[in-house]
Amino acid sequence: MKNSIVVVDDDPIIRMDLREMLEEEGYHIGGEAKNGQEAIELVAKLKPDLVIMDIKMPVMNGIKASHIIRKMQDTSVLLLTAYSQKELVQDARSAGVAAYLVKPVSEADLIPAVEIALSQKERMDALKHDLQQLKQSIEERKRIEKAKGIVMKAYALEEEEAYRKMRMASMAFRMPLSRLAACILQDGPGQLASMSLPDNG
């Protein structure tokens, strides 16, 4: 089963047509909504990969709903409209939508647009993951540096010797260096007291 999609349009016939086209391509339709407010509630509940949404709808239009959805989470939005006015295109872009299609929508137009929108989401997810890992790595480095300073002071060691002592302890206790550093920061360097450094020769 492919990615999860929510379809939003106040016309039930259009929703049915979109569902059929997407399901034929193997996509999973997580839910349907008939206005922007329902779309926001559904997205919050289902966390789909993509929302395909009409612009002109009662209660709340698609552009306003897109703004809210994009702030809530990293769900891609593909907007549909019967109008191709420049202002709408600009509004759609400022709402952070991935793609924009003018009705009536054919399968030949819909499926490539869906693929583009989903591939953009995958790239954004990958970038977010990389940034999170980088942030974690920086935090770990900071923790190790702080712990190393404590070990240097406690045992009157040079920086390189303190680091080697921590590495030895990391291997002896079978724990990552970052976790050992967290223990030193929390409980002090006492657990390293029994560990002697190897001879330099």
Lowest mean pLDDT among 45-49, 67-71, 116-120, 160-164: 116-120
pLDDT tens string 153-168: 999 999 999 999 999 8
Listed by start position, the domains of the chain span 4-105, 132-192
Q: Which residue has the tokens 């003018």?
A: 102
What's the whole-number mean pLDDT along residues 11-35? Answer: 94
pLDDT at 116: 86
Class of 132-192 in CATH:
mainly alpha
- How many CA within 13 A on the CB side of residue 6? 28
What's the whole-number mean pLDDT along residues 106-121? Answer: 85
CATH 3.40.50.720 fits 4-105, yes or no: no
Average pLDDT value for the chain: 85
Please give the residue that has the higher pLDDT: either 107 or 7. Answer: 7
Assess whether pLDDT exceeds 70 at residue 105. Answer: yes
Same topology, domains 4-105 and 132-192? Answer is no
Omega before residue 198 within 30° of 0, cis: no
pLDDT at 103: 84
